[in-house]
Amino acid sequence: MKENIKKPKRHQLVSLRFDFGLSQSELAEMLGVSQMTISRIEQGKKEIEWELRRKIEDSFGIDMD
């Protein structure tokens, strides 16, 4: 039986970015990904991968659940 794993929502990333006053490029640089990756996540075209989620949580001291 598959366990129901809650995935972080893209709107959490958008809210976080705006709360910290960061551009997509600035956030991407902080997290070691491309600006295109951030853009695609925010548009709902790409899921937030677990490794990136951990980087976000560690960088901002938050829990994305």
For the question of whether the overall pTM of this predicted structure is more than 0.85, the answer is no
Distant-in-sequence, close-in-space partners of 30: CB < 8 Å, separation ≥ 6: 22, 59
Query: Mean pLDDT in each 10-residue stretch from start to end of the chain (65 residues)?
Result: 52 92 97 97 92 93 84
Question: Which pLDDT score is estimated for 8?
Answer: 60
CA distances for 65 relative to 1, 26, 47, angstroms: 22, 23, 15
Contacts of 5 (CB under 8 A, 6+ apart): none
What CATH number should be reported for the domain whose range is 10-60?
1.10.260.40
Per-residue model confidence (pLDDT) at position 6: 47
pLDDT of residue 64: 82
